[in-house]
């Protein structure tokens, strides 16, 4: 069963959503304010967060922003009565992945949840793997608080590997992220992987290893 977090201060609406989603094989935790939502997210992992904007104690936009600042890449769909374009843009700017205006059809909510639950959010501002921290907006990375010196290309490769960790990333996906459609010769990616491994250092506990028949993966500790 897919586990979700519903953040909604209207208890009648929340009850209806929880009951309906249970019929669709979704299990919902419920928070009635923004502070409680962050506590739930600190203690549990969810496939998707259903987040109202007008919340007591901490509004939904702030919840979403804090979530992304912590490096949490759980997809967020915002539910709100605000239907103006500026309201939607504000939600996306704070890290939302989707937006559904009240009143809405439950069937549409289910369809959007099913789509979001299959992926992670690309809105996260920081990515972490142990003591490695990748600042997506600043295009910088630190290890145990110390900056890692690397080329812009190596950073893109590292970002993709950390997003997928511990799963591997295909050579095609890495090449697409770095060069788009204008891909150089096949050895160029290997060269940048080599430079990235040197930038991480032998004593970091991190390494980039080939995944036979797939691509490359980031590994941590003794593997």
pLDDT digits (tens, 9 = 90+) for 105-130: 999 999 999 988 877 666 667 788 88
- How far apart, in whole angstroms, are the C-alpha atoms of residue 51 and residue 31? 9
pLDDT at residue 151 above 60? Answer: yes
Residues 6 or more apart in contact with residue 183 via CB below 8 angstroms: 175, 176
Options 3.40.50.800, 3.40.50.2300, 3.40.50.620, 3.40.640.10; CATH of 2-116 = 3.40.50.2300
All structural domains of the chain with their residue ranges: 2-116, 126-220
More confident call, 56 vs 173: 56
Coil/strand/helix, residue 142: strand
- pLDDT digit string (tens) for 54-100? 999 999 999 999 998 887 888 999 998 877 888 888 888 898 999 99
Q: Is the preceding omega at residue 159 within 30 degrees of 0, hence cis?
A: no
Instruction: Give the global pTM.
Output: 0.60
Strand partners, 220: 206
Rg value, the chain, Cα = 20
pLDDT band at 186 (very low <50, low <70, confident <90, very high): low
CB 59 within 8 A of CB 53: yes
- Rounded to 5 degrees, what are φ and ψ at 31? -120, 140
- Strands 48-52 and 2-7, by their bridges, are parallel
- How far apart, in whole angstroms, are the C-alpha atoms of residue 33 and residue 100? 19
Please name the residue that has the structure tokens 């739930």: 40
Quote the tokens at residue 175: 């090449």
Tell me the average pLDDT of the chain. 89
What is the pLDDT, as a whole number, of residue 210? Answer: 92
Of 191, 123, 119, the C-alpha closest to 151 is 191
What is the pLDDT, as a whole number, of residue 223? Answer: 45
What is the pLDDT, as a whole number, of residue 122? Answer: 60
What is the pLDDT, as a whole number, of residue 222? Answer: 45
Query: What is the CATH number that goes with domain 126-220?
Result: 1.10.10.10
pLDDT at residue 220 above 90? Answer: no
Quote the tokens at residue 14: 């929340």
What is the pLDDT, as a whole number, of residue 123? Answer: 63
């Amino acid at each position: 069963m897919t586990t979700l977090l519903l953040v909604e201060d209207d208890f009648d609406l929340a009850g209806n959503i929880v009951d309906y989603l249970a019929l669709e094989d979704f299990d919902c935790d419920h928070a009635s304010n923004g502070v409680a939502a962050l506590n739930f997210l600190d203690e549990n992992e969810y496939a998707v967060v259903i987040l109202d904007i007008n919340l007591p104690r901490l509004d939904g936009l702030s919840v979403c922003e804090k979530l992304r600042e912590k490096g949490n890449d759980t997809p967020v769909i915002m539910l709100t009565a605000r239907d103006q374009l500026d309201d939607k843009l504000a939600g996306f700017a704070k890290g939302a992945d989707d937006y559904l205006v009240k009143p809405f059809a439950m069937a549409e909510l289910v369809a959007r949840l099913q789509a979001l639950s299959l992926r992670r959010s690309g809105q996260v501002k920081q990515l972490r793997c142990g003591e490695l921290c990748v600042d997506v907006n600043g295009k910088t990375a630190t290890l145990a608080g110390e900056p890692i010196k690397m080329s812009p290309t190596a950073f893109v490769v590292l970002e993709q590997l950390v997003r997928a960790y511990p799963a591997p990333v295909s050579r095609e996906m890495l090449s697409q992220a770095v060069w788009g459609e204008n891909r150089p010769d096949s050895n160029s990616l290997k060269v940048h992987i080599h430079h990235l491994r040197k930038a991480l250092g032998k004593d970091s506990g991190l390494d980039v290893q080939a995944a036979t028949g797939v691509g490359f993966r980031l590994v941590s500790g003794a593997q």
